[in-house]
Structure formats: structure tokens, C-alpha cells
Amino acid sequence: MKRRDKAFDTKMSKLTDLVDYQDGAVVSREIINQKSGSVTLFAFDEGQGLSEHMAPFDAMVYLLDGEAKITISGNSLNLKQGEMIIMPANQLHSLKATKRFKMVLTMIKPCGQESQQYGTEDKG
């Protein structure tokens, strides 16, 4: 298991510069992946999203740039730059770019849980 991207060791970085937008796509860059959790940066082009799914662990989303609609258990919220939300474990959730946005996804896993991959969707 890749524990972290060593390119960041003892180096300051501006999170918004570490992942770039691509037309019609979702771009991700894993910063840390450990047994206890992970930190991943995402850049979503307008109209792109992550389809509804559930995870067995809590996740925090922090918007670095732009705007997103995040739905958790049927409750939709519109987040803007500088805002965050916790997506609780075992609750259906989805994300959609109402405008291009970048986010940090921090997932905290119970001991023994393995990483789960998520698909992306284009509902533009």
C-alpha cells in the first residue's frame, strides 16, 4: 500500500496548485493513504460528479475552490469555497459540480477497513 506521496515530504505546497481541472473530467491526486485513512485532492469540471454511494467510514469534504452540490441521505446542500461537510459512515451520498470545484477529501477508516474505489459520472 502506498502510504504517502513522498514528493510532499518537508515541502510546503498550496493545495489548489496540486490538482488541475480538465474539461469534462474529474481529476484526483492521492496525498496520503494509510490504514487509518486517506487524503485525496479532486478537481471536478462543471457538471461532473461522483454518483450516489455509501462508505463504511466517515469522510470530510473541504472545498478549496468553486461550488458543489452534496447530497447526503436525500438532503442536498450547496457548498462554496472555504466550506466543509462531514459525510457520515453508512449514509448514501453524492457530489456534483454546480461550478468547477476543487476539494480535499479526508477519509477516516475504522481499523481493518480496506480502501474503497468510487466511480465518476457525467450528468452534464
pTM: 0.81
Q: What is the pLDDT of residues 50-99, one digit of tens each?
A: 999 998 889 999 999 999 999 999 999 999 999 999 999 999 999 999 99
Query: Quick one: CATH architecture of 1-6+28-109?
Result: Sandwich (2.60)
| Three-state SS sequence of 29-53 | EEEEEECCEEEEEEEECCCEEEEEE
Q: Give the confidence band of 122 by pLDDT, cuts at 50, 70, 90.
A: very low
Q: Which residues contact residue 62 at a Cβ distance below 8 angstroms, ignoring those fewer than 6 apart?
A: 83, 84, 103, 104, 106
